[in-house]
Structure 1
Amino acid sequence: MLLTTLGCSGSLPGPDGPASGYLVEADGCRLAIELGSGVLAALQARHDPFSMDALLFSHLHPDHCSDFTTLAVIRRYHTDPPHDTTEHRLPVHGPSESADRFARAYAETAEELLATDLSDVFEFHTLVDRAPFRVGPFEITPVRVDHPTEAYGFRIATGSATLAFTGDTGPCDALRTLADGADVLLSEATWTHADDRPTGQHLSGVQAGELAAAAGVGRLLLTHVAPWTDKAAVLTEARGRFPGPVELVVPGGTYAVDEPVVRVIGGHGN
């Protein structure tokens, strides 16, 4: 299983890369997770945007989904697509209001909205807490987490590897179930630790490290660090609470999930 970071800036695109977006690949199957601001450009630089087998959204804040409308433009209006996009609709798995929210973001007028649901080129599926589903070789289990909107983390498993992704969340009991024994935990760490941080929103480096230790994961990858947050400080916090390997993901980095040590195959960053 390979994890590729298309974007990892928390809350908005940063000066060195897009907001949230990832690819997970195994056995020729390509799963996209999130499509935040700037991610579609990064995807096109690496892959054919028609090559995704499914798309997952943890929640519907713009830094995780705003490029979806431009993906709709590609799938509806590309002059030379590799296949008929109405016969091969892209499966989209997201929170309960996904289809309606994306249609509203895409439609230019109220009149157009009446005739727009985007189901001509997308096949929408609603996530259900703890209800697993399959995409190719992946068994995907969404787990409801603690965020101001309906939000999920994903546990993604094949026969040889397990990746846990927190999405955006504050500390909650569900995260332990999500991450339990995973080979790699891809955890948000939006800010440094402080007792007066708002609850039910995000994790600090301390909290990401504590989660990794409590869940007994193999490795911890930190993501979603806000542009105004000191990345080195977040990394130091996490390493102080988790004795295993800890890294900050970088835009364009590809990580082998099923290897005993993190191997960054490509990418750039600090």
Structure 2
Amino acid sequence: MLLTILGGCGAWPGAGQSCGGYLVEHDGFRLLLDPGYATVPRLLERITADQVDAVFVTHGHPDHCADLNPLLRARTFRDDPSSPLPVYSLPGALDAVLALDRPRALAGAYVLREFAAGDPLDLGPFQARTRLLPHSVPNAGVRLAAGGRVLAYTGDSGPSPEVVALARDADLLLAEATYADRVPEDSRHHLSSARQAGRQAREAGARRLLLTHLQPGTDPVAAHTAAESEYDGPIGVATPGLVLDLWVDRDLR
């Protein structure tokens, strides 16, 4: 299982950056997780738009799904349109982004496959387990298993035993860490800090931790240090272009 980071900013893309977006590959199948702002240009540096086999979106905030629109345009506005792209999301999560174009402009570009959090899914070679995690809108964390390896991804989530269950014994926990240490009072139930991500990785027994969704201006060194205070396994911070082979044990720093 191969993971490529397309971006790691939360809320909006910082200068020269992109929001969260992740390409997960196994046995030639390419799954795109959360195509947030500015991720499609990064994606197209690596593969063509028609080489994406499926898209999974955790929730409907635009920093997690806005670039679904240019991806579908790149597959459709051409002489040889691509086959419809399977797009998985919670019910209604993609209504806004799919309404950006004129009616029917992208009607044949995708097949929307809505699911309920908790549903198991088969995404090509990936066996996916979904779990409702606490956020300001419904958010489905996902656990992907293939080839004897497991990747757990939170989307956006406040600290919860459900995150620990999602990441239990995972080879990699890709965890939202908007803040390094202190989460503002009004966000404590639906966003997390790097320190909390580290604590939950430890409680889950995850083998590696990759922090993502850092809000622009959050010091990545401070985030790493905060997570390290709770978790003694390898820790990294998601940066565009980082490629991880989950079969290879490596330092994420």
User: TM-score normalised to the size of structure 1?
Assistant: 0.88
Aligned to 1:123: 111
Distance 1:146 1:24 in 2: 24
Structure 1 position 170 matched with structure 2 position 158: yes
User: Quick one: distance in 1 between partners of 2:190 and 2:95?
Assistant: 24
Aligned pairs for 1:232-247 (under 5 A) are 232-247=221-236
State how far apart, in whole Å, the 2-side matches of 1:29 and 1:143 are.
23
- Structure 2 residue 184 is the aligned partner of structure 1 residue 189: no
- The 3-state SS of whatever aligns with 1:105 is coil
- Partner of residue 65, structure 1: 65
Partner of 2:132: 144
Aligned pair partner of 2:123 in 121, 131, 135: 135
Q: Quote the offset at 1:93 in angstroms.
A: 0.3
Percent identity over the alignment is 34
Residues 99 and 118, structure 1, Cα contact 8 Å, conserved in 2: no
Q: 1:263 to 1:244 in 2, by over 3 A?
A: closer
Deviations 1:75-119 (A, max 9, x none): 22123x4xx53xx21100012114533332223xxxx4xxx3844
Distance 1:119 1:178, change over 3 A: farther
**Inter-partner Cα distance in structure 2 for 1:3 and 1:156:** 11
Distance 1:119 1:171 in 2: 38
Residues 90 and 207 of structure 1: CA distance in aligned 2, closer, same or farther (over 3 Å): same
Shift of 1:178: 0.6
User: What displacement does 1:200 show?
Assistant: 2.1
- Match of residue 18 from structure 2: 18
Single out whichever of 253-262 and 13-22 deviates more from structure 2.
253-262
**Is 2:103 the partner of 1:103?**
no
Cα 1:117/1:96, change in 2 over 3 Å: farther
- The structure with the larger Rg is 1
Structure 2: unaligned runs, 5 residues or longer: none
- Equivalent-residue separation in structure 1 for 2:178 and 2:94 (angstroms): 28
1:133, distance to aligned residue in structure 2 (A):
1.0
Asked if the contact 2:183/2:193 (under 8 Å) is kept, the reply is: no
| SS of structure 2 residue aligned to 1:186 | strand
Find the residue that maps to 2:100 and give its secondary structure.
helix
Q: CA deviation at 1:263?
A: 6.5
CA distance in structure 1 between the partners assigned to 2:152 and 2:5 by the alignment: 14
Q: For 1:196 and 1:253, locate their aligned partners in 2 and report how far apart those are by CA, in whole Å.
A: 29
Whether contact under 8 Å (1:103, 1:117) holds in the other structure is: no
Shift of 1:143: 1.0
Relative distance call for 1:120 and 1:224 in structure 2 (3 A) is: same
1:127–1:142 CA contact under 8 A, matched in 2: no
* Residues 2-60 of structure 1, C-alpha deviations (whole Å, 9 max, x = no match): 10001111111112311111100011111000111111111111111110110010111
Deviates more, 1:56-65 or 1:96-105: 96-105
Q: Deviations over 1:165-205 (max 9, x none)?
A: 01111111211111000000011111022275322221101
Distance, in Å, in 1 between the alignment partners of 2:183 and 2:149 is 35
**2:134, 2:174 → 1: CA distance?**
16
Amino acid at match of 1:64: H
Of the three residues 188, 191, 201, the one matched with 1:212 is 201
Distance 2:97 2:53 in 1: 19
> In the TM superposition, what whole-angstrom CA distance separates every residue of 1:181-233 from its partner, at most 9, and x where no partner exists?
00000111110222753222211011000000000010001111111211111
Q: 1:260 to 1:122 in 2, by over 3 A?
A: same
Question: CA RMSD of the aligned region, Å?
Answer: 1.7
2:89 partner letter: G
The match for 1:267 is: none
Provide the C-alpha distance between the structure 1 equivalents of 2:15 and 2:162, rounded to a whole number of angstroms. Answer: 33
Does the residue aligned with 1:208 lie in a helix, a strand or coil?
Answer: helix
